Structure 1
């Protein structure tokens, strides 16, 4: 198998489980995009922004795949959704989703996955506290891109934007970061034990 890889830098959890190659990178990126699309269907409908499992997927994909592959997985997720794969929230697809109120969150996923992946490549994901800090940083990035987009899309005031796009998601964001911070360090421990 070739040692050529799209993955740059230090190994991540995926690299611990599967040897690096372009083929495995492509499969991991496709799997990361599909996983995000799958968790997007786990949703609590709210308007204008639903509560979904997407952000949990973004954190897990970024941390597991690393900065480059994680970000590319989110680009693939966004692009395939735009061209018609019905895997945005509520099985939606098309350019109107990206151009609409929730588009900024989807764009933010790319940066969030890149950041959590970059931190994972620096071993932040090996311990619960570091993983939680990493995942909260990814969550903040998602909102930092998503909130201004939401405001511009709907012409909301600052207060309206926070009420519609942030406040309902704070508790869920913390819970998702805690779940990911429990899962990824545990996966590292199990992988290390198995590899020994």
Structure 2
């Protein structure tokens, strides 16, 4: 087998290792949306901010990396749409879009795509590259969440950053460190 053929058949993301294209893709998209919904229930309110700490962002970033651009975005879009129509699987069992943290959920769709695209280019194959990929994904989530929070709370940028970014930085650093161990470890385990 030539190098060109080896590169063409190498899986781009972890989700590509699952056989059966259409059934696989639907199952992965639905499964990732459910995974984020379950992770969202691991939620702790923070005094002084309307945005809780939850497992959502970690699940979003892992899902995007494992599924790639299209499936990563589709799974987060499914998650957002299902929550908007009443599935109570946003953080703290919430649903709908009338909440201070909904901008972050919009950011999940974008982050699923961005992290998925970066992972397909090897952004999840080494710890250092995974740190960069996850940091970019979190920045995308914040870029969507903070303006929504500003509008929701009628606050300026400084106040929104105090409410919706600063309290989460330590937890996000831990999530990035976990992903930097999990994703490259999964690739090593699968010897790809």
TM-score (norm 2): 0.91
Partner of 1:23: 23
Is contact 2:104–2:142 with CA below 8 Å preserved after alignment? yes
Deviation at 1:30, TM superposition (A): 0.3
Tell me if the contact between 2:12 and 2:121 (Cα under 8 Å) persists in the aligned partners. no
Matched residue, 2:15:
14
Give the Cα separation in 2 of the matches to 1:20 and 1:145. 34
Q: Which aligned pairs between 1:37-186 and structure 2 lie closer than 5 A?
A: 37-46=37-46, 47-94=49-96, 98-186=97-185
- 1:99 Cα deviation from its structure 2 partner: 3.3
Query: How far apart in 2 are the matches of 1:148 and 1:127?
Result: 32
What's 2:8 paired with? Answer: none
> Which ranges of structure 2 fall in alignment gaps of 5 or more residues?
1-10
Q: Deviations over 1:171-195 (max 9, x none)?
A: 11111111111101000110117xx
Structure 1 segments, 4+ long, off by >2 Å, are none
The answer for the alignment partner of 1:6 in structure 2 is: none
Q: Secondary structure at the match of 1:126?
A: coil
What's the CA shift string for 1:59-112, capped at 9, x where partnerless?
100000001100000000001111111100111112xxx232111000000111
* Separation in structure 1 between the aligned mates of residue 98 and residue 152 of structure 2, nearest angstrom: 8
The Cα offsets for residues 26-48 of structure 1, whole Å up to 9 and x where unpaired, read as: 00000000000010011111231
Distance 2:20 2:120 in 1: 14
1:20: Cα distance to partner?
4.5
TM-score by length of 1: 0.89
Kindly state the Cα deviation for residue 131 of structure 1 after the two structures are TM-superposed.
Answer: 0.7
| 2:41–2:93 Cα contact (<8 Å) kept | yes
How many residues end up aligned between the 2 structures? 181
Secondary structure of 1:24's counterpart equals helix
Q: Which runs of 5+ in 1 are unaligned?
A: 1-9
